[in-house]
Chain A
Amino acid sequence: MPTLPIWKALHMPEMMRYAQAVNHALRLLMSADERVFMAGEDIGVYGGAFGVTDGLLDTFGERRVRDTPISEEVIAGLAVGAAITGMRPIVEMQFADFVVNAMDPIVNQAAKLHFMYGGNVEVPMVIRLPGGGGTGAAAQHSQSLEAWFAHVPGLKVVAPATAQDAHDLLIASVADPNPVMVFEHKLLYKEEGPVEVRHTTEPVVQLGEAIVRRSGDDLTIVAYSIMTVRALEAAERLEDSGISAEVVDLRSLRPLDIETVRASVRRTGRLLVTHEAPAAVGVGAEVVAGVVESDALDHLLAPVSRVCGLPIPMPYAKALETATIPQVDDVERAAKELMNA
């Protein structure tokens, strides 16, 4: 008789935290492929600053779960060097903010080598970056830097909103032959969701596939990462006000699935884009441009709207921090304004 719990035997989703879902994906990837290894600050004995890598050292040993010195540049650089010589590194920036110390290996090296060396090399590496605000950690531990990397040809960028996507997008990222930046949100780590744990490394979700999280007729709310969660809550409230909002979760920022957004806007005629990062020169601007560059423009019934983080460094005090990060209220209010525009 199988000893698996019944939901596992039936491949039923089980409830787990986003961090656990990442952990499960790491276990699967490490078990399936000897070339996969991990490196980062405090990922081994400590289990990761957010517990994401908990227990992996015991399972896979210090050869493959490598605690590193506090040296972000060489963490990213070793991933490049290992990737181009046959390995499949998954490295971690302890906080996404620390990636600023590692920009050269990522932007000048990882992103460029395949092209610059005439297509003769692949750089299959993954960098995991816990980002975002709301933890009271202030300006140097709260940023949402994903747009920086989405701007760079040669990089791919994903930002999962659900535990299932955190699991599936990591699997897809490791399968990809290009460098992938995986932005996880620190506030989401403890959020529970149903997760169907995969048993093979064959990607179920492809990079560059957005998903309609909720269908609606009156407006399209485009979000990613934690703002997807807030957008869905705002959509619930809007329903009570008689407004039917569709929520599109981008999931990947590069490649960007603009077709899913355009198709939604063609039906709803209204577009609101929301992210925690500031608006200027951001992902929202790219989404809006992608919509107005197509015939979806002809379907717009109102100006587009962006609900984004304030253009200031993340403040510490709870009231200031909350005011800086877009909240459910902000999305709800902007959606109502859009309906009245």
Chain B
Amino acid sequence: MHLRCTDVQFAFDLVMPGSYIGVMPRRDPVNDPLSSLRSMLEIRRFEEAVEELFSRGLLHGTMHLSIGQEAVAEGVCATLQTGDFITSTHRGHGHTLAHGADPTTMMAELLQKNTGYCRGRGGSMHIADVKNGNLGANGIVAGSMTIAVGAALSQQMIGTDKVVVCFFGDGAANEGAFHESLNLAKVWDLPVVYVCENNQYGMSMSQDRSTAGGSVAARAAAYGMPGETVDGNDVEAVCLASLEAVERARSGGGPTLLECITYRYRGHSKSDRNLYRTQEEIEDWRDNRDPIQRFIGKCVEDGRLSNEQVTAAESAARESLRRAVSEAFAAPDADPADLEGAAYA
């Protein structure tokens, strides 16, 4: 999958000859690596900040960090346009940011502010940005998989060329909703791209212990749709696989299932003591396969990025995050006076 493309259209032609229909992806990690690097760094810095704020007792509840998985969010969302839809998961900060959310508004939500995406009602696990096509993070494993079918059905019925990317984890692949969703999406040939973000553990349960057949992507065959296993820590590989799947969905070719193999460095949530995996395993992924470091290393080596550009991108990400945090802190708190009647439109 280490393909080199001279431009995005060429990438389309490479994966689906002659099928390019004119909808340009919003970012291009192959030819404009800086934009995707910035995006991944923004996600990483955001989640590190969240972790720190939590440890200082400034956040409420819990949170699920995707540190180490940024290439999946970026590789897929890079291939979308504003107006395309995503459904996300409980570990959704990366998808949300990569699909264009404002980090200040996200941080405000986590900091229990009235200016947050959900006015303090949702928190980390429920951030949605519906007007920009983010149909929401979801606290129920596989909870958004059936919603994605409906959103895609709307597109088909209304006749738009929008697609719906349905992010889910390896754990969700063993929920009934996964099977109902994939089956119906294919029966109706809906414009859905299923992206399994396989970080190899559903909380503590490894994929080896949980998943018959051992592969999520292989299940695509049962539903008559294309399935592909992708190196989820290689943002370019993810992007190219996603380009093909998105283009297929956009042009009426129906759903695709991508399984992106990745790894989360942090625990499932704050209560996790990592009893189910070894420190060596975590360090091996972190030190040898980190998606951001790999991408930087590759781009610097082949001359697409200079060390100066990387340093500048890193400080820009830090600076923009610092600004987001301080702006969010200054916002008014969520207000209990707004709760009455709020459950109904």
Stretch of A67-75, A92-100, A292-300, A322-330 on the interface side: A67-75
Q: Are B153 and A78 closer than 8 Å at their CB atoms? A: yes
Q: Are A84 and B135 closer than 8 Å at their CB atoms? A: yes
Most buried by B among A64, A81, A114, A115: A81
Q: In this assembly, does A85 line the interface, its C-beta being within 8 Å of a C-beta of chain B?
A: yes
Question: Would you give the shortest CB distance from A245 to chain B, in whole angstroms?
Answer: 34
A153→B119 CA distance, assembly (Å): 18
Q: In this assembly, does B145 line the interface, its C-beta being within 8 Å of a C-beta of chain A?
A: yes
Q: Which chain A positions have C-beta within 8 A of B128?
A: 113, 116-118, 120-121
- Known A69-B184, A81-B153; contact A74-B345, beta-carbon cutoff 8 A: no
Give per-residue flags for B132-143: 1 if the beta carbon is below 8 A from chain A beta carbons, else 0: 000110111001
Q: Are B140 and A79 closer than 8 Å at their CB atoms? A: no
A87→B157 CA distance, assembly (Å): 9
Among candidates B122, B135, B143, B184, residue contacting A74 with C-beta atoms closer than 8 Å:
B184
Q: Are A105 and B146 closer than 8 Å at their CB atoms? A: yes
Q: Are B147 and A153 closer than 8 Å at their CB atoms? A: no
Q: Are B344 and A178 closer than 8 Å at their CB atoms? A: yes
Total interface residues on A, CB under 8 Å, equals 43
- Known A87-B157, A118-B119, A121-B128; contact A178-B345, beta-carbon cutoff 8 A: yes
Question: Would you give the shortest CB distance from B273 to chain A, in whole angstroms?
Answer: 28
A-B contacts counted at CB < 8 A amount to 142
Among candidates A73, A122, A123, residue contacting B177 with C-beta atoms closer than 8 Å:
A73
Q: In this assembly, does B36 line the interface, its C-beta being within 8 Å of a C-beta of chain A?
A: no
Q: Are B117 and A117 closer than 8 Å at their CB atoms? A: yes
Q: In this assembly, does A273 line the interface, its C-beta being within 8 Å of a C-beta of chain B?
A: no
Q: Are A81 and B150 closer than 8 Å at their CB atoms? A: yes
Closest chain B residue to A111, Cβ basis:
B343
Total interface residues on B, CB under 8 Å, equals 43
Closest chain B residue to A152, Cβ basis:
B343
- Known A77-B145, A81-B149, A108-B143; contact A121-B343, beta-carbon cutoff 8 A: no
Q: Are A116 and B150 closer than 8 Å at their CB atoms? A: no
A69→B180 CA distance, assembly (Å): 9
Q: In this assembly, does B291 line the interface, its C-beta being within 8 Å of a C-beta of chain A?
A: no
Q: Which chain B positions have C-beta within 8 A of A63?
A: 157
A113→B143 CA distance, assembly (Å): 12
Question: Would you give the shortest CB distance from A68 to chain B, in whole angstroms?
Answer: 7
Q: Which chain B positions have C-beta within 8 A of A76?
A: 146
Q: Which chain B positions have C-beta within 8 A of A309?
A: none
Q: Which chain A positions have C-beta within 8 A of B135?
A: 81, 84-85
A-B contact pairs, 10 of them (CB 8 A): A73-B176, A74-B181, A81-B150, A81-B151, A82-B153, A82-B154, A84-B130, A85-B151, A116-B136, A121-B136
Taking A74-B149, A77-B180, A85-B154 as known contacts, 6 extra A-B pairs with beta carbons closer than 8 A to each other, sorted by chain A number, are A81-B87, A81-B146, A81-B152, A84-B147, A84-B150, A123-B345
What are the nearest 10 A-B pairs in CB distance? A77-B146, A81-B150, A78-B150, A118-B118, A74-B180, A81-B147, A177-B345, A82-B150, A85-B154, A118-B119
